[in-house]
Chains A and B, each alone.
Chain A
Amino acid sequence: MRFMPLYILVAIVLFTACTSEDTLPVLGVPTIVDGKEIPHKIRDFSFTNHNGETITNESYKDKIYVADFFFTTCPTICPTVMSQMVRIYDKYENNPDVMLLSHTLDPKRDTIAALKAYADNLEIDAPKWNLVTGDKKVIRGFAQDYMNIVVEDNEAPGGINHSGKIVLIDKDRRIRAFAEGTDPNEVDELLEDIDKLLQEYAQ
């Protein structure tokens, strides 16, 4: 019951997703200011990446990017989601217009050194892909911006229950598509959506 608003949001998202074929829809619940609809947008952000560099929305200016939430010691869905993020990284390795952004949900254990080791083991690096940390509450707030759910749960393996959505963000920081990172078939579609979005900017 607590997550009812999110279900409604997802329902809206799915409905909107069905109405357009050519260009990707703009997802999320818009806010209405003075009778005008303002689409859902990712707020300004400032985090620290695995190399200790400050990463802000400016670092992603004029780029499209995919974002997700994880933690390095997560034994359940994270490795699966990460393997799908690696697929995206590999496909667009030579395309500077596409970037990736992974937020840790466990800043206490995921120090910059821990994130660096994880990035090295994934054989990935900035500036294309930043693994970022920051204030725990701030990151959880951004998880909502990116339509991910995070719940502290001591019963869950690793102590945190969270969704594994990979979300596609356009150059105006609007959500244009998403996939369950645990489902390679959905990520196949997301890869097509990334191409579609690139095409949109190429025209």
Chain B
Amino acid sequence: MHNNRSRDWSQIFLQQGMRFAILIGVFATLFFYTQCSKGFSQGRQLYLNHCANCHGADGQGLRSLYPPIAQSDYLENNYEELACIIRFGIDKTLTVNGKSYSTPMVGLDELSEIEICNIVNFISTEWHPKNSYISLKDINMIIGKCK
């Protein structure tokens, strides 16, 4: 009698545990699909694929042709503009660290908001630690208000 009862309890516990695990899985999946990660692997890979050709793998830029992304006073001061530049490109002369740059950039409209969010946060984690993490919600808001 006593043995049977304890087996019942363990079975119930297993069932509940399973349900709990599935629930955690669902929440985790939802979380990862609606949030962008704070820099690192995904943002780095996106940066290398979409930005590094011109701005360099180390964000150093190229002479007066392409402005640096790393340690850029422009990005330090106009951080919210970054998402807009990635989405819509830019065709005006910028002054970055005292140097002027006028090579136009085309917008990367193939990138989703989450991808832009990952790139922006990678750039901040890697090169602009003073800039705070920007959430996907904020990115959506910024992009909605570009120009």
Binding site for B on A (CB under 8 A): 75-77, 79-80, 82-83, 86, 118, 120-123
Contact = CB atoms under 8 A, between A and B. Distances in A.
Given A75-B106, A121-B103, A80 B53 contact: yes
Interface string B81-117: 0000000000000000000000100100000000000
A58 to B, nearest CB: 29
23 contacts: A75-B53, A75-B54, A75-B106, A76-B53, A77-B53, A79-B53, A79-B54, A79-B62, A79-B65, A79-B66, A80-B53, A82-B62, A82-B65, A83-B56, A83-B62, A118-B65, A120-B64, A121-B65, A121-B103, A122-B62, A122-B63, A122-B64, A122-B65
A117 to B, nearest CB: 9
Contacts of A122: 62-65
B121 to A, nearest CB: 24
Question: Which interface class (under 10, 10 to 19, 20 to 34, 35 or more) fits B?
Answer: 10 to 19
A99 to B, nearest CB: 19
Contacts of B54: 75, 79
Contacts of A80: 53
Nearest to A184: B57
Nearest to B104: A73
Contacts of A75: 53-54, 106
Given A79-B65, A121-B63, 13 more contacts: A75-B54, A75-B106, A77-B53, A79-B53, A79-B54, A79-B62, A79-B66, A83-B62, A86-B62, A121-B103, A122-B63, A122-B64, A123-B63
B93 to A, nearest CB: 12
B40 to A, nearest CB: 23
A31 B54 CA distance: 40
Nearest to A79: B54
Contacts of B62: 79, 82-83, 86, 122
Ranked nearest first, the 9 interchain pairs of A and B with the lowest CB-CB distance are: A121-B65, A121-B64, A79-B54, A123-B63, A79-B53, A122-B63, A83-B62, A80-B53, A122-B65
Contacts of A83: 56, 62
Contacts of B106: 75
Contacts of B63: 86, 121-123
Nearest to A82: B62
B109 to A, nearest CB: 13
Interface centre among A82, A83, A120 (most CB of B within 10 A): A83
A122 B106 CA distance: 20
Contacts of A118: 65
A86 B65 CA distance: 12
Give the residue among B53, B66, B103, B106 with the most A Cβ atoms within 10 A: B53
Contacts of B56: 83
Contacts of A121: 63-65, 103
A77 to B, nearest CB: 7
A59 B63 CA distance: 26
Contacts of B65: 79, 82, 118, 121-122
Contacts of A79: 53-54, 62, 65-66
